[in-house]
Amino acid sequence: MRIWIDLANSPHVPFFHALIPRFAQRGAQVELTARDYAQTVELSKAAGLTPAVIGGHGGGKLAGKAGNLVGRAAALARWARGRGFDLAVSHNSYAQIAAASGLGIRTVTLMDYEHQPANHLAFRLASRVIVPRAFPSAELKKYGASTRKVRRYEGTKEDVYLAGFVADVEFAETLRGLGIASEDVLVVARPPAREALYHRFENELFDELLVSLSARAEVKIILLPRSDAQRAEYETRKPANLIMPRAALDGKDDAANAALAILLGQALALGIDRLGDLLGDQTARVPGEIAEQERRKQRKHRQIDERQLECGRAEQLAQRRHALRPDAPEP
């Protein structure tokens, strides 16, 4: 089987990097394309992937997004035609889904956010739609995903590539190179996706929190801009303790070393304190329900620990009684 994967955004790189070896184990041949947006290309190269770079970002205006979608879909179709692909796979790459559908290639899309308007296009055209267990059924129906084509999975996409994560012991050297010492309180933050189709309003809470954190001398903030425009915006008002690395960071080791991550998925999977769910654009079912699942697990583990402690205390008491009365039955 020949599989075509499109990397449309930076989080897709670690996700599919973890899956590609599984596809290869099953005898599949994989080819990649990537959109030049949000360090997707840089992270791909750092991971040893060699995608064909096709298209970029359409900007923040709806007209630009629509034109970019049509143009990139056409460019992807030209690239894919005649390559003999059996399956196109992406994490909701609308351009790839449109291109593959036009070429008669079966498509699989994954998605974890129910407030993305472009789900209307992706879910209707895709052959298979894969979503987290917590994704609302009503939203799937609204976006045209029939029950027949939907499959669900437990957890989040971040669980896929963080399942075997082992922290890089040499990452401390990278942090020192950025001016972050071991005694500093590290905060990793990613700004809201202000140019995304699902984010059509301003969210001032993120910037207010940055101002508050930057006023604390012990705090160092790694800010991961989503675009060059966003980087330029924060450069104009950057406090001394806010750092925007030029080299692409994959988000795993920097988040794992953070005291606070103003992200969502990775921080949730790594068990780091997070504010992403408080700073979200809309109330999203997926992160909310998964966070509640984690809380239920923790409560269950505490209850188990308490029962084990009580059993241990009872056994110790019985042993003491037996020591005082050797003729008593064994506990």
CB-based contact 54:78 (threshold 8 Å): no
Residue 319 within a domain: no
C-alpha angle with apex 196: 153 to 47, nearest 5 degrees? 60
Distance CA(299)–CA(157), nearest Å, equals 24
- Rounded to two decimals, the pTM is 0.71
Structural domain ending residue among the three candidates 253, 270, 287: 270
pLDDT tens for each residue of 283-313: 444 555 555 555 565 565 555 555 655 665 5
Please tell me whether residues 8 and 154 are part of one structural domain: yes
Q: Kindly state whether residue 150 falls inside one of the protein's structural domains.
A: yes
Residues 58 and 191 in one domain: no
pLDDT digits (tens, 9 = 90+) for 9-52: 888 999 999 999 999 999 999 999 999 988 899 999 989 999 99
β-strand partners of 129: 109, 150
Residues 70 and 139 in one domain: yes
C-alpha 122/C-alpha 143 separation (Å) is: 8
Q: Taking the CA of residue 262 as centre, how many other CA atoms within 13 Å lie in the half-sphere pointing to its CB?
A: 22
84-118 pLDDT, tens digit per residue, is 999 999 999 999 999 999 999 999 999 988 888 88
Residues 178 and 112 in one domain: no
- 236 and 101 within one domain: no
Note whether residue 33 is domain-resident. Answer: yes
Instruction: Say yes or no: 50 and 195 in one domain.
Output: no
**Euclidean distance between the first and the last CA atom of the chain, given in angstroms as a whole number:** 64
Domain that holds residue 228: 171-270
User: What is the number of domains present in the chain?
Assistant: 2
Same domain, 242 and 151: no
Burial letters for 239-277: b for 16+ Cβ neighbours within 10 Å, e otherwise?
eebbeeeeebbbbbbbbbbbebbbbbbbbbbbebebbbe
Alpha-carbon distance 50 to 83, whole Å? 17
- Strand ranges for the chain from DSSP E: 2-7, 29-34, 52-53, 87-90, 106-110, 128-132, 150-153, 185-189, 219-223, 242-243, 260-262
**pLDDT confidence of residue 279:** 41
Residues 118 and 242 both lie in one domain: no
146 with 196, same domain: the answer is no
The CA-CA-CA angle for residues 145, 115, 57, to 5°, reads 100
99 and 235 assigned to the same domain: no
59: left (phi over 0), alpha (psi -120 to 50) or beta: left
Note whether residue 306 is domain-resident.
Answer: no
| Cβ–Cβ < 8 Å for 152, 131 | yes
Q: Give me the mean pLDDT over the 202-213 stretch.
A: 78
Task: Judge if 187 and 135 occupy the same domain.
Answer: no
324 to 17, 68, 310, 318: CA distances (angstroms): 64, 84, 21, 10
CATH of the domain at 32: 3.40.50.2000
Q: For position 200, what pLDDT does the model report?
A: 44
User: Do 99 and 122 share a domain, yes or no?
Assistant: yes
Whether 278 is in a domain gets the answer no
Domain for residue 147, yes or no? yes
284 within a domain of the structure (yes/no): no
Out of 162, 181, 196, pick the residue that ends a domain: 162
Domain termination site, one of 129, 162, 195: 162
| 219-223 sheet: strands from edge to edge | 242-243, 219-223, 185-189, 260-262
Does residue 233 belong to any structural domain of this protein?
Answer: yes
How far is Cα 260 from Cα 161, in angstroms, rounded to an integer? Answer: 20
- In the prediction, which pLDDT does 4 show? 98
